[in-house]
Structure formats: structure tokens, C-alpha cells
Amino acid sequence: MQRHHEIEFAQFMEAIFLNGAASMRWDRVCMWFNAEQVGDTEWKQIHAKWLEVCKANGYVDDVAPIFCYTNPSALVIVREGFGDEDVIEITAEGAEEIDEAE
């Protein structure tokens, strides 16, 4: 991975940590990894970077799972909340805190 792609990839993963989600065009993602398409090797690198970002921010044992939503133009990765974050569902009636222990 070229250094400037490494930096962009790291910033993408940090955005997921900070904001809960991030998206990037597929062509940029493929450029990061010098690949024609994202496959198992690239998914493993994404997961490894996610673990690295979580550990660097003090979440060693409480690593929130990440999920990928794909569409034709962009890779979208979202994460679940960490144990110390509140989750609120927004509905037509307003907002309600979700008890994740249920």
C-alpha cells in the first residue's frame, strides 16, 4: 500500500471509530489496496486496522463489531456502539433509548 493510501485508509477507519460510520467510493478503496476488487485479503486488512484503531483508543476487550453495506458506488462501513455509548432509536413518535442488555 502506498503511503498516501495508507494515510487515507487510516483516516477512513478512524472516522468509523469517531462517527460510527464512513463511506468511500469503490475505486478509491481498490486504489488503497492496489486491487481490482475487494476480496478476503482486503477484508482481513480492514478488520485488522479496525482492531488496531480500537486498541489505540483504549478499547482492547470491548471492540464493537463493524458491518459493511455495499452499493454500486460506495463502500459503507458502520459499527455497533461501544459498551459505554448510549443507543437511541429514532421513530415517528420521537426517540427512545435502547437497552442493549435485553
Q: Phi/psi of residue 2, each to 5°?
A: -70, 150
Q: What domain range includes position 28?
A: 3-98
Cell of residue 19, nine digits = 462517527
Domain total for the chain? 1
* pLDDT for the residue 76: 96
Counting Cα atoms < 13 Å in the Cβ hemisphere of 15 gives 13
CATH of the domain at 35: 3.30.1370
* pLDDT for the residue 33: 95
3-state secondary structure of 76: strand
**Percent composition of the chain: helix, strand, coil (DSSP 3-state, to 5):** 40, 25, 35
**pLDDT < 50: residue spans in the chain:** 102
Which residues pair with residue 90 across a beta bridge? 95
* pLDDT for the residue 102: 47
